[in-house]
């Protein structure tokens, strides 16, 4: 391999700009060689925007090149499995957008292909790389909270009109709330307190006729650390609520999108500011990916760590459909760790 990891980006849609900015922020470790999209104008426009050497409509040709070490998969969810498996078969390290897969069986096939090929395989859990979440996690890990009782997390928003991406409305791509947002929210809830879910119970309803999937979801998780969590998601909140409260023996921690507040049972409230970097966490995410490739190690948010959030998304879906509590270990077998740190 060359000194720098040589990257091909597959898919030139919305999220490709974040990957390109993330790689650009790590110039000592990597360079993007080519961007591919079926839509030529999109590929060429990203090429020009980021000053890339090449754009192509032929993703398959990217996999066949010896001067590409790694790929970013920035495609609609249902294309993740065929493209990740193809990347592995071609010996390319792979960073794949979230939701990594549409179900656990699919993730397991992708993980097996990457393991057989000996390539690094990472899920784009970008929230893990935001300064606010890294700082909040480090704060929790000091033990200052004591025993955690309960966590509330919410992700609200307004989304009542058709998006420019029609594939989002296709049920075969999964649900926007459970897969699109849940891939971030369930992962960060569990990762912050290093406590994956043991059981999941969820309710969901389709209310807005433009959606074929639930626009309101509430889920209760029991977590490995003995606490429980309440995850609230809605596309109808009219404002963009996005925060978390962790209630514990020694106080309450409130985690926002750029600061966290610690109110101890006794003592003054502390406010810790951790503004979002200009890449929204993608500098850290892409930097971690290429560092893991160079150092031949498991990255943060590896595919086996992402099995937790994949199983949680599937458990939420199952619980909504069947009205029952889903036990993750009984349903999906054994899991590895949720983090390398």
Ligand X SMILES: NC(=O)c1ccc[n+]([C@@H]2O[C@H](COP(=O)([O-])OP(=O)(O)OC[C@H]3O[C@@H](n4cnc5c(N)ncnc54)[C@H](O)[C@@H]3O)[C@@H](O)[C@H]2O)c1
Under the rule (CB under 6 A), what is the footprint of ligand X? 10-15, 36-39, 42, 59, 74-77, 79, 97-98, 124, 126, 165, 180
Judged by CB, which is closer to ligand X: 15, or 248? 15
Min dist CB 74 to ligand X, Å, is 5
| Residue closer to ligand X (CB basis): 110 or 326 | 110
Work out how close the CB of 174 gets to ligand X at its nearest, in angstroms, rounded to a whole number: 9
Least CB distance from residue 250 to ligand X, whole Å? Answer: 33
Burial of 317 (0-12, 13-18, 19+ CB in 10 A): buried
What's the min distance (Å) between Cβ of 144 and ligand X? 30
> Nearest residue by C-beta to ligand X?
13
Shortest separation between residue 120's beta carbon and ligand X, angstroms: 18
The residue among 76 and 256 lying less far from ligand X, judged by its C-beta, is 76
The pair phi, psi for residue 157, each rounded to 5°, is 170, 175
Task: Determine the Cα–Cα distance for residues 6 and 29; give it in Å rounded to an integer.
Answer: 9
Is 84 in contact with 114 (CB distance < 8 Å)?
A: yes
Distances (CA, A) of 86 to 15, 39, 80, 279: 21, 20, 10, 28
Nearer to ligand X, 1 or 14 (CB): 14
Q: How far is the CB of 246 from ligand X (least distance, A)?
A: 23
Burial class (CB in 10 A: 0-12, 13-18, 19+), 237: middle
Nearer residue to ligand X within complex by CB, 125 or 319: 125
Q: With respect to ligand X, which residue has the nearer C-beta, 165 or 270? A: 165
Nearer to ligand X, 199 or 233 (CB): 233
Q: Kindly report the three-state secondary structure assignment for every residue of the chain.
A: CCCCEEEEEECCCCCHHHHHHHHHCCCCCEEEEEEECCCHHHHHHHHHHHCCCEEECCHHHHHCCCCCCEEEECCCHHHHHHHHHHHHHCCCEEEECCCCCCCHHHHHHHHHHHHHHCCCEEECCHHHHCHHHHHHHHHHHCCCCCCEEEEEEEECCECCCCCCCHHHHCHHHCCHHHHHHHHHHHHHHHHHCCCCEEEEEEEEECCCCCCCCCCEEEEEEEECCCCEEEEEEECECCCCCEEEEEEECCEEEEECCCEEEEEECCCCCEEEECCCCCCCCHHHHHHHHHHHHHHCCCCCCEHHHHHHHHHHHHHHHHHHHHCCCEEHHHHHCCCCCCCCC
Cβ 183 to ligand X shortest distance, Å: 7
Residue 82 C-beta: closest distance to ligand X, Å = 9
11 or 196: whose CB is closer to ligand X? 11
CB of 302 to ligand X, least distance (A): 16
The smaller minimum CB distance to ligand X, of residues 21 and 59, is found at: 59
């Amino acid at each position: 391999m060359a000194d720098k990891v040589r990257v091909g980006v597959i898919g030139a849609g919305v999220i490709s700009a974040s990957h390109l900015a993330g790689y650009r922020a790590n110039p000592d470790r990597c360079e993007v060689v080519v961007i591919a999209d079926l839509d030529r104008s999109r590929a060429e426009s990203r090429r020009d925007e980021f000053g890339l050497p090449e754009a192509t409509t032929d993703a398959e040709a990217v996999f066949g090149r010896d001067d590409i070490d790694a790929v970013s998969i920035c495609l609609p969810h249902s294309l993740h499995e065929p493209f990740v498996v193809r990347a592995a078969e071609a010996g390319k390290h792979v960073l794949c957008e979230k939701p990594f897969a549409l179900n656990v069986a699919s993730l397991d096939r992708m993980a097996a292909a990457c393991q057989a090929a000996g390539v690094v395989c990472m899920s784009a859990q970008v929230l893990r790389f935001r300064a606010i979440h890294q700082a909040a996690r480090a704060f929790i890990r000091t033990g200052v909270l004591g025993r955690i009782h309960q966590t509330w997390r919410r992700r609200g928003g307004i989304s009542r009109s058709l998006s420019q991406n029609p594939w989002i409305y296709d049920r075969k791509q999964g649900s926007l709330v459970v897969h699109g947002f849940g891939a971030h929210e369930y992962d960060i809830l569990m990762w912050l307190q290093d406590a994956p879910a043991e059981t999941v119970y969820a309710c969901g309803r389709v209310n807005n006729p433009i959606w074929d999937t639930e626009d309101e979801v509430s889920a209760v998780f029991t977590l490995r650390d003995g606490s429980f969590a309440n995850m609230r998601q809605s596309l109808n909140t009219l404002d963009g609520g996005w925060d978390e409260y962790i209630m514990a023996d020694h106080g309450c921690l409130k985690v926002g999108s750029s600061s966290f507040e610690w109110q101890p049972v006794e003592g003054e409230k502390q406010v810790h500011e951790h503004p979002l970097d200009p890449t929204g966490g993608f500098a850290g995410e892409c930097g971690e990916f290429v560092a893991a490739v160079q150092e031949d190690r498991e990255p943060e948010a590896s595919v086996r760590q992402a099995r937790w959030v994949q199983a949680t998304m599937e458990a939420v879906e199952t619980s909504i459909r069947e009205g029952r509590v889903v036990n993750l270990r009984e349903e999906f077998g054994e899991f590895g760790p949720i983090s390398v740190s």
